[in-house]
């Protein structure tokens, strides 16, 4: 079984607080922005593989906020070393949610190498994440979410997904000044 990405994001949305930072990449970012536009959405599209590193930097700089990284499996494969760095950093406020569709979706849906063998949950566990879990069923994910969403991190949650309802890819916004200014202003509002 697999979970439609839009339904996974809709399930996560009520658990994201106003002060939480969300770092999302590629199609997950476009879907998240359409479903939950908010000032503390950090736009990391265009930095393939860097969402986890950006999330770590934001978590270290903002220990009083939870940081959620909505990563793609193809993106994470570009920066697997970040898992060890995150685990060794001592951050407790980082939740790494991996949307695994086993393809490089926005680049033509090319399959990941050894897509059916890659164990992202195992990677995170072996790297030293505090907890790591996988879900391929929305009902099970929804029931388990309250039990780990507030737990100390770093946490890895792997969601086996399919695309779900498509949302427009607004590249002009994500690469523009407005997205960065909106995030920066919201981040600095409490300082």
Domains delineated in the chain: 3-188 (3.40.50.970)
Residues 82 and 5: their CA atoms lie apart, in Å, by 24
What was the pLDDT predicted at 46?
Answer: 62
Angle, vertex CA 11, rays to CA 7 and CA 14, nearest 5: 140
Residues 58 and 186: their CA atoms lie apart, in Å, by 13
pLDDT tens digit at each of 191 positions of the chain = 799 999 999 999 999 999 999 999 878 888 999 899 999 999 865 667 789 999 999 999 999 999 999 998 888 988 999 999 999 999 999 999 999 987 666 665 666 677 788 899 999 999 999 999 999 999 999 999 999 999 999 999 999 999 877 788 887 887 888 888 999 999 998 75
């Amino acid at each position: 079984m697999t979970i439609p990405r839009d339904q996974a994001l809709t399930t996560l949305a009520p658990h994201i607080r106003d002060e939480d930072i969300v770092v999302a990449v590629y199609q997950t970012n476009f879907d998240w922005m359409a479903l939950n536009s908010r000032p503390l959405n950090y736009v990391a599209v265009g930095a393939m593989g860097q969402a986890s590193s950006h999330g770590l930097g934001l978590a270290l700089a903002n220990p009083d906020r939870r940081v959620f990284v909505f990563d793609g499996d193809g993106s994470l494969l570009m920066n697997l070393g970040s898992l060890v760095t995150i685990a060794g950093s001592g951050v407790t406020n980082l939740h790494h949610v991996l949307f695994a569709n086993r393809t490089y979706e926005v680049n033509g849906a090319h399959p990941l190498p050894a897509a059916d063998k890659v164990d992202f949950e195992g990677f995170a566990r072996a790297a030293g994440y505090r907890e790591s879990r996988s879900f391929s069923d929305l009902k099970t994910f929804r029931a388990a979410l309250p039990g780990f969403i507030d737990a100390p991190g770093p946490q890895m949650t792997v969601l086996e997904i399919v695309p779900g309802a498509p949302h427009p890819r607004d590249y002009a916004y994500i690469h523009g000044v407005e997205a960065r200014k909106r995030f920066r202003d919201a981040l600095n509002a409490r300082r």
